[in-house]
Amino acid sequence: MSWSPHIELEECPHCGQSSDFMVMHEHNHRSCSGYTHNTNAMMRRALRATGDLLDRLGEQHLYALSGMRAGDVADDLGRAVAWWAEQPEGTMDGITPTNGWGDSEGALCFWTALANYCARYPNGMIRMNG
């Protein structure tokens, strides 16, 4: 399974229309719209290291982002990906998927894109399809 998040806007600040933005990111010189669940433990580690968002999300963890206002989690996600990006190589090695589906670089790229979209569209509603 893979995440395929969207940011829904009642009114786009740029065009005034209601919109639904698929969160896109670049990975290995390709444009991607999602990323594997196999790397969820990496984002949970980054969130635990930087604040209490994971505790606030409850048992559903990252699934609970769906339905939340982007601006309510933008700072938390931004802190988590900034922490992750500053870690020495190998920090996520113990939780890298052994099946080869996903890696720290791709997961960080994906979650950074989501954090950036949340910061850019704070009034949007997050939809974490997947």
**What is the per-residue pLDDT across 41-95, written as a single tens digit (0 to 9) for each?**
999 999 999 989 888 888 777 888 999 999 999 999 999 999 999 999 888 888 9
The residue-averaged pLDDT of 13-42 equals 71
Distance from C-alpha of 97 to C-alpha of 95, rounded to nearest angstrom: 6
Distance from C-alpha of 115 to C-alpha of 130, rounded to nearest angstrom: 18
Helices (H), the chain: 40-50, 53-57, 70-86, 104-120
The residue-averaged pLDDT of 88-117 equals 88
Distance from C-alpha of 48 to C-alpha of 43, rounded to nearest angstrom: 9
CA angle 55, 57, 58 (to 5 degrees): 70
Work out how many domains the chain is built from and give that number: 1
Distance from C-alpha of 116 to C-alpha of 102, rounded to nearest angstrom: 21
Q: Note down the domain range covering 79.
A: 2-129
